[in-house]
Amino acid sequence: MSAWKILLTDGLEENGKAILRASAEVTDQPGITAEDLLKVVGEYDALIVRGRTKVTPEVFAAGKKLKVVGRAGVGVDNINLPAAKESKVTVVNSPLATTVAVAELAMGLMLSSVREIARADASMKAGKWLKKEFEGAELCGKTLGVIGFGRIGSAVAARAKAFEMKILAYDPLIPAEEIKKRGGEPATLDEVYKNADFITMHMPLTADSKGMLNAEAFGKMKQGVYIVCAARGGVIDEAALLDALNSGKVAGAALDVFSAEPPGLTDLVAHPKVTNTPHIGAQTVEAQARAANDIAEEVLNALNDKPLRWKVA
């Protein structure tokens, strides 16, 4: 066995741990505090996290031996990439593992929102029969605006087509011809806002995307639009969304992610036209097993200076 030491701070499925333990010494400390992480990270060559652990500049400074940080999942907004670069630490993720899980959840959220499935179920559990209150709408024949047409966005589009929806796709990083190949009709943001009956967000959280669904954006949308977000909470201005819900501009919203997590019982979470889930997009048995396998292999490749598939920084 090599002398590599690897620290897990947010847990990892057993198949991933087995891959790591075959080649390295693995310490599993799920739930470790930020303060304790700073005390011990200097002992390790690799750190594997999910979304909970914040890999700050202080972590990189304390991690004198760190060679690689792995994110078991897609988003790396909890990892300070400039600090990683400055410290010459490689950052890798597992971007393919959760595509199906997130895409399926986005479709589930869309259906739940437009048919008010969660509220209907709650009313039944309260012993009520409110059939006439739950007149929804159909997805068939409606226009879905997909903002972010990468792996997950295009996977949502493929599933929405089975519901006979028209797909408008916006992604500044993907050429129009590629968007067409993936099953979308290329559109500008304003075209999406103007024409979409449903809008689903699949953008990473960056300086450009933060708060992109704001009051101005909602003002350009159709009356009665539905909003779905299983990407990153920060891409939506939550105060503006609440106003749009209260005015009726937005008929319903379904959110798996929030600007602050957990958000607590905010006015947005409590709103009767909002369906909430606690950031469960990647939480399927299959996705977690894939993520564990992929990140374990990628971290070991980084430690052993082998070619990388998913280097982020």
CB 166 within 8 A of CB 157: no
Active site annotation includes 50: no
- The catalytic position among 50, 71, 151, 232 is 232
d(CA 103, CA 108): 9
Active site annotation includes 279: yes
Active site annotation includes 271: no
CB 159 within 8 A of CB 135: no
- The catalytic position among 43, 261, 286, 309 is 261
d(CA 83, CA 313): 10
d(CA 166, CA 4): 51
CB 81 within 8 A of CB 55: no
d(CA 165, CA 310): 32
- The catalytic position among 151, 279, 290, 297 is 279
- The strands making up 185-186's β-sheet, listed across from edge to edge, are 185-186, 166-170, 143-147, 198-201, 225-229, 250-255, 274-276
Return the closest-CA partner of residue 98 out of 36, 57, 171, 150: 150
Active site residues: 232, 261, 279
